[in-house]
Amino acid sequence: MYFCAIKTKNTSMQPNIAKSALRSFHFIGLLLSAKFILSTQRYEILAMIAVFISVMVIFMLFRTGLHFRETECEGFISYWKAFKYIFLIYLFASVVMCIVMVIYTSFIDTQFLSYQLDSMLKVYESINYSIDDNTQKAMQIIYTPVPFAMLSIFASALGGAFWALILAFFVRKEPNNLFDQQ
């Protein structure tokens, strides 16, 4: 009985990274969704705004990581805990972006993916790279809303891991041990 009380006490002191990330990903998901919608437009000024939003996402990931460290980790967080938190926020936000992506490509701009596929095929033609029928069929399947969104989640997970590796270095803060300083 005493052991259970100690175990419960210790686990309650540890912040739950997944729950905290689920409470904090909404704004970044909104930013990623706005970036996707702006990047689909064919106006240069909107593309520039999408680049600005990309920078803003990185800044907000950093700020959110700092807020998590200060409010839920009592001011100290290890590198890997910061990495997990930032990665989960980016992953959850990417899911929101992919839902927006499916809605956008299915109902709002149904020709967007076919335009993207045509553009890619023209690039292959311009470099004299031949594509067989099986590859072209596979590309046509990928450039439909749901497979495209699933591929985007995978790509976003890689991007989230990249930014989490970098930002966790700046968010981490280990407690100083007085006995190590002599």
The tens digit of pLDDT for each residue in 25-64 reads 999 999 999 999 999 988 889 989 999 999 999 999 999 9
* Alpha carbon distance 38, 46 (integer Å): 6
Does residue 59 form part of some domain? yes
What average pLDDT is seen over the chain? 88
* Residue 49 Cα to chain centre, angstroms: 18
Query: pLDDT at position 5, please?
Result: 33
Task: Please give the distance of CA 83 from its chain centroid, rounded to a whole number.
Answer: 12
The 10s digit of each residue's pLDDT in 153-165 is 999 999 999 999 9
Q: Which domain holds residue 85?
A: 18-109+153-171
- pLDDT tens per residue across span 93-129: 999 999 999 999 999 999 999 999 999 889 988 998 8
pLDDT score recorded for residue 10: 42
Do the Cβ atoms of 64 and 17 come closer than 8 Å?
Answer: no
Q: Is residue 44 part of a domain?
A: yes
Calculate what percentage of the chain has a pLDDT beyond 90.
71
Q: What percent of the chain has pLDDT over 70?
A: 89
Among candidate residues 55, 80, 37, the one with its CA nearest the CA of residue 174: 80
Q: Indicate whether 122 belongs to any domain.
A: no
Q: Is residue 129, in this structure, part of any structural domain at all? A: no
Residue among 66, 21, 41 nearest 167 (CA):
66
Which two structure tokens, joined as six digits, stand for 23? 């409470």
* Residue 84 domain flag: yes
Which residues are within 8 A (CB) of 105 and not within 5 positions of it... i.e. 6 or more apart? 112, 113, 145, 148, 149
For 134-170, letters b (16+ CB in 10 Å) and e give eeeeeeeeebebeebbeebeeebeebbeebbeebbee
Q: Enter the pTM of the model.
A: 0.84
Closest CA to 89 of 154, 161, 140: 161
Q: Is residue 180 part of a domain?
A: no
The count of structural domains within the chain is 1
Sign of torsion, CA 163 144 31 37? positive
Reference 171, options 56, 90, 88, 73; nearest CA is: 73
Task: Return the pLDDT at 116.
Answer: 92
